[in-house]
Structure 1
Amino acid sequence: MENSSRHSSTVTDNNPRTLRVGSWNIGTLTGNSIELVKILKKRKINIACIQETKWLGTNTKDVDGLKLWFSRKSRSRNGEGILVDRDLRDQVVEIRRVDDRVMTINLVLGGITLNVINAYAPQAGLDKEDKRRFWEDLDKVVRGIPLTEKLLIGGDFNGHIGSFSNRYDDIHGSFDFGDRGEGGVSLLDFVNAFELVTASSSFQKREQHLVTFRSVMAKTQIDYLLLQKGDRGLCKDFKVIPSENISTQHKLVDMDLEIRKKKKKKRVQYDQPRIRWGGMTGGKAQEIRMKLVGMGAWGSSGDTNSMWARTAGCIREAAREVLGVSKGCTSRHQGDW
């Protein structure tokens, strides 16, 4: 886990910003890092989840102004990374590399805490134990994110959710591609459990802007961007970009998400009713004085503390009766006190 210095955001209530998030299985970063960054800059992508980096180790690297966090602890796996552009790199406050298949970064944008998770699911032919461990790790990471924080997930899930929603009507917009497979069922069950949605299913697109993997033998959709169900209205667009290539059969996917600063609710304090001392006049003061005499406020005895407590109590009681009290709901503004 790493920490970075906090940086104030320029996001305001009147000037929301659009955050463009992408995901791409690039095959390898070796020899491709500069070309990758050029494409991300051209497409104005702020944050990119990338899979199959092939760079061994857990490290951070500056790539032509963008900051890359990558992880590949084992040569038997292909690794992954997250790239953040120049404007946001200093707003990353935490990085967590769970393993070579799940990593997350945490950013603060205009008072909003945003968690971005990169996920790289095992391929269909791999051991079931690897798949179980992947979903357990991803499940644990998401459960650890407070409900008050925002969540985005990008990755290669190696599963087909298909073009029909069937029993997933609430999270599937029926705008995806192909037929559903076993991996797609696992993904939809995960999405449903955490009240997420797939961005791709919310927008009607032509086939070329839905297919994320294309080869001589097949074309399908296995790369996804997920967001919280409550933020579906903030997602302004999703698309696959078929024209960009980096020696890979996977295509770049991205979505535009509107980020607004949280509006602070006015803090209201509920106090005990207060005496309206502002209503004191000469006549009221004389009335209070007469009441105090009748209460015997000046005839108390004992030590100094007990005498003062008795007299002060009498003063408050007489003032309440003569001057009245407030309603008891206050903020910093003192109203008619």
Structure 2
Amino acid sequence: MRGKASEVVETMTRRKVDLCCLQETRWKMDGIKIIDGKDSRYKFSWSGNDKGTSGVGLSDAEKDRLYQMLQSAVAKDPASEQLIIFGDWNGHIGAESTGFREVHGGQAIGQRNTKGERVLEFAFANELVVGNFWYKKKARHLVTYQSGTAATQIDLILFLRNFRRQVSNVKVIP
């Protein structure tokens, strides 16, 4: 993210992204920063280390639809919480939703491995869905990891099952 924050904001604006999860931010320590784009404003929250290597972050539009939907849900039911888990899980979940239709939307590629099985079991046990497996996309847009001829999805976004009807799309940009 060093030196690229404005570029990220412009890309998020152009693609109409409400919430963006970032890896390898390379910003030191933890913090919150407002970054203005040409026609937009985003709030970045990040967690890093004292050396400024690795790190993860979350960015959202200051007045985004997602925030309004979450506020609306909380206002109706103060006990409710929305949970979104994202990251490079290194689990190959595979194209088949067999055994996990409640959490796997069937819009995926590759072969399931043991780690992928564990991710699906975790999602099922915690009433989550794998968000980026519910929306139809071109095969080349599904790939988040490629090595030689093997292509699969390892960057995943999980959220509570009851939140699914409020989400219109989920996309991972490798």
Q: What residue ranges of structure 2 are gaps of 5+ in the alignment? A: none
The amino acid across from 1:40 in the alignment is M
Judging changes above 3 Å, is the alpha-carbon distance between structure 1 residues 75 and 158 closer, same or farther for their aligned structure 2 residues?
farther
Q: Deviations over 1:114-157 (max 9, x none)?
A: 9xxxxxxxxxxxxxxxxxxxxxxxxxxxxxxx962222223222
Structure 1 segment 68-79 matched on structure 2, within 5 A? 68-73=44-49, 75=51, 78-79=54-55
Quick check: 1:225 aligned with 2:157?
yes
Aligned to 1:151: 83
User: What TM-score, normalized by structure 1, do the two folds share?
Assistant: 0.44
Deviations along 1:216-247, whole A, 9 cap, x unmatched? 56432111222222233333333455xxxxxx
CA, structure 1 residues 214+237, in 2 after alignment: closer, same or farther (shift >3 Å)? Answer: same
SS state at 2:118 partner: helix
Identity %: 34
Change (3 A) 1:30 1:217: farther
Shift of residue 198, structure 1, vs aligned partner: 1.0
- CA distance in 2 between partners of 1:111 and 1:233 (Å): 14
Q: Which deviates further from its counterpart, 158-167 or 216-225?
A: 216-225
Name the CA shift for 1:232/1:47 in 2 (closer, same or farther; >3 Å): closer
User: Residue 113 in 1 paired to residue 74 in 2?
Assistant: yes
CA distance in 2 between counterparts of 1:240 and 1:108 reads: 21
In structure 1, runs of 5+ residues without a counterpart are 1-28, 92-106, 115-145, 242-249, 251-337
How far apart are 1:50 and its partner, in Å? 0.8
Q: TM-score, normalised by structure 2?
A: 0.79
Q: Cα gap change, 1:147/1:207 in structure 2, threshold over 3 Å: closer, same or farther?
A: farther
User: CA 1:74/1:190 → structure 2, altered by over 3 Å: closer, same or farther?
Assistant: farther
Give the match's secondary structure for 2:107.
Answer: coil
Verify: 1:58 aligned to 2:30, yes or no.
yes
Q: Does 1:204 align with 2:136?
A: yes
Say if 1:111 and 1:204 are closer, same or farther in 2 by CA, change over 3 A. Answer: closer
For 1:309-324, what aligned pairs fall within 5 Å after superposition?
Answer: none
Aligned counterparts of 1:222 and 1:159: Cα–Cα separation in 2: 6
Aligned amino acid, residue 18 of structure 2? N
Task: Select the structure of larger CA radius of gyration.
Answer: 1
**Any conservation in 1 of the 2:94–2:152 contact (CA below 8 Å)?**
no
> Given residue 60 of structure 2, which amino acid in structure 1 is its aligned partner?
V
Q: Residues of 2 paired with 1:111 and 1:238: CA distance?
A: 20
The residue type equivalent to 1:46 in the other structure is D
SS state at 1:237 partner: coil
The 2-side partners of 1:239 and 1:72 are apart by 24
Q: CA distance change for structure 1 residues 62 and 230 in 2, over 3 Å: closer, same or farther?
A: closer
Tell me the distance in 2 between the aligned counterparts of 1:61 and 1:189. Answer: 36
| Native 8 Å contact 1:208 1:240 kept in 2 | no
Q: Give RMSD over aligned pairs.
A: 2.7
Find the counterpart in structure 2 of residue 169 from structure 1: 101
Letter in 2 for 1:113: V
Question: Distance between the aligned counterparts of 2:141 and 2:127, measured in 1?
Answer: 25
Count, aligned residues: 166
Alpha-carbon deviations, 1:74-99, whole Å to 9, x = none? 549611011121315xx7xxxxxxxx
Q: Name the CA shift for 1:200/1:109 in 2 (closer, same or farther; >3 Å).
A: closer
